[in-house]
Structure 1
Amino acid sequence: MEAKLILPSRSPTATSSRRVEGRRCRPVRSVLARPKENFVMERLRLKKLKPVDTEGAASVHNDNWFDLLAINYLSETLQAATGLKSMRSGYESLVETTAMMSKRFSTKTQQKLVVKALENAIPKLILDMIRTLLPQSQFTREYFAAFTTVFFAWLIGPSEVRESEFEGRREKNVVYVKKCRFLEQSNCVGMCINLCKMPSQAFIKDSLGMPVNMVPNFDDMSCEMVFGQDPPASNNDPALKQPCYKLCRANQMHTVKSSGQCL
């Protein structure tokens, strides 16, 4: 028997077939991707809001059904007053709504919209009744302080009543908030000032007849609410001269002016 050497075919058809086969078997080494910058920006937009703690672990709030009812009601009232819409629920909805307000409206408009929302949230009849039945007195100032610690922990966090000197007497007219929930969650000085401090002071005085001075401490995120005390003028208020945090959630959209507010 004669041995024969059979060489591989060199025909164009066989070569083409092997090339096609080779291309089919090659592993995928790369894929087309969107530009990195767009991907990062999308991740930032979709990133879930998380509290930022300057000292360590973030505060944990176990909201009960009443807390959630109050939080969602205030958030929905703000959305109705501004025309904005949040798809979140609970405290995240409140923070997201106020964050959108801080980006879309001027500081003065933000304050007016919050006052409007608070007026819409509480019937005028009740506001007038409180103002009539609780005129300025030591009892009223202490009542406001005690009421705030009991019924507004869902908004500001745990707090306690402390004493201060008022017209030569010691009164329990101060609410001390160890770590403000809104400031911790928003992590923005401008939002604290324009969406909490300034409108709350105006609403409580104009609608309830009670002067109040809110004194936030931006170093440890504590706050004091002194009932019966008028706040200082804007040009003398230390809070309005405070620069925002380096990790402020809104610092990409705001600039810090000499007043210290995120504008």
Structure 2
Amino acid sequence: MRAVTRNGVSDVSGSWKKAGPEMPAPSYESIDSQPLNKAIMSLFRRKMVDAIGTDSHNKGYDAIVDLTRMLNSQRNNPRDTQIKTRQILLSLFPSWLPPAFKVMFSEPLPSLSCQLNAWVTMLTCQWLMGPCKVNDVEVDGGKLGIGQGVLVERCRYLEETGCASVCLNSCKIPTQEFFAKDMGLPLTMTPNYEDFSCQFSFGLTPKPATEDEAFATPCFVQCPSKQRHRGDRCPGADVDALMWT
């Protein structure tokens, strides 16, 4: 086997990747106990159940993880998972809101719209992703987007699901598509599979899948699917299947 480098880390072709931080995951009890987070988690679960057609026997965040795995396992290919996940995201909002926001805010006030979405993401999604903060990021044209980023310090969703394929197909791709197509804002999400951080950059158009390092990650050692896809690549991380229109 020959040594290769993915995401700046040496690996060996044919082996799975040891991903994530060494330190144990932090407690999310204080985040989960907040009334707003409880309400949003409950809403998200209901929308997932509606989309999948079945519920989990688990409670709290464990149910979200369980439903996510059900969603990924019942789809025929990664693209189906991406489409269904985007539909779930849309179902969280009144049908009129995304198109109205696109016309009233995204098109005439793109920078302000990016800032608004960064703050809303930071305030409403910590139950899903863990602690995060608004920051400045590079946006289209090489400009500095003040307050247009969200840095997830250690993604709870990625760590709990333990799968790069889930990260791509149930989070990164459908979320980027939701904001670009439904909210009218480009978004690039950059997961770091070494420390499980993730950078949201509102106002930055995503690279093609063939140029995005996230699509070349090896399968995680802790990946629950225990399957191989094209050697050591993560199940579902198939660039051909992940190309979207």
Q: Which sections of structure 2, spanning at least 5 residues, go unmatched?
A: 1-18, 237-245
TM-score by length of 1: 0.74
Residue identity opposite 2:84 in structure 1: L
SS in 1 for 2:82: helix
Cα separation, 1, equivalents of 2:191 and 2:142? 24
Q: CA RMSD in A?
A: 1.9
SS in 2 for 1:124: coil
Equivalent position of 2:156 in the other structure: 181
1:143 matches 2:116 = yes
1:56 matches 2:23 = yes
Cα separation, 1, equivalents of 2:116 and 2:125? 13
Return the offset for 1:113: 0.8
* 1:5-84 map, 5 Å: 54-62=21-29, 63=32, 64-84=34-54
Which of 121, 136, 141 in structure 2 is aligned with 1:163? 136
Residue identity opposite 1:124 in structure 2: S
Q: Greater RCO between the two (CA within 8 Å, min separation 6)?
A: 2
Cα separation, 2, equivalents of 1:261 and 1:161? 30
Residue identity opposite 2:88 in structure 1: A
Equivalent pair of 1:190/1:261 in contact (CA under 8 Å) = yes
Which of 90, 112, 125 in structure 1 is aligned with 2:60? 90
Count how many residue pairs are aligned between Structure 1 and Structure 2. Answer: 210
Cα separation, 2, equivalents of 1:168 and 1:84? 45
TM-score by length of 2: 0.80
Equivalent position of 1:42 in the other structure: none
Residue identity opposite 1:157 in structure 2: G
Distance 1:81 1:147, change over 3 A: same
Equivalent position of 1:123 in the other structure: 94
Return the offset for 1:209: 0.4
Cα separation, 2, equivalents of 1:113 and 1:169? 33
1:36-87 CA deviation, whole Å, 9 max, x = no partner?
Answer: xxxxxxxxxxxxxxxx964122121121222122112112211211223211
Equivalent pair of 1:148/1:175 in contact (CA under 8 Å) = yes
Equivalent position of 2:81 in the other structure: 110
SS in 2 for 1:95: helix
Distance 1:53 1:135, change over 3 A: closer
Equivalent position of 1:244 in the other structure: 219
Distance 1:258 1:176, change over 3 A: farther
Percent identity over paired residues: 25
Larger Rg: 1
SS in 2 for 1:134: helix
Cα separation, 1, equivalents of 2:200 and 2:232? 21
Residue identity opposite 1:199 in structure 2: P
Runs of 4+ in 1 over 4 A off after TM superposition: none
Return the offset for 1:150: 1.4
Residue identity opposite 2:37 in structure 1: D
Cα separation, 2, equivalents of 1:180 and 1:85? 24
Equivalent position of 2:105 in the other structure: 134
Residue identity opposite 1:59 in structure 2: P
SS in 2 for 1:142: helix
Q: Which sections of structure 1, spanning at least 5 residues, go unmatched?
A: 1-51
1:225 matches 2:225 = no
Residue identity opposite 1:217 in structure 2: N
Equivalent position of 1:260 in the other structure: 233
Equivalent pair of 1:72/1:91 in contact (CA under 8 Å) = no
Cα separation, 2, equivalents of 1:165 and 1:120? 30
1:117-137 CA deviation, whole Å, 9 max, x = no partner?
Answer: 112221111212221221242
Residue identity opposite 2:115 in structure 1: E
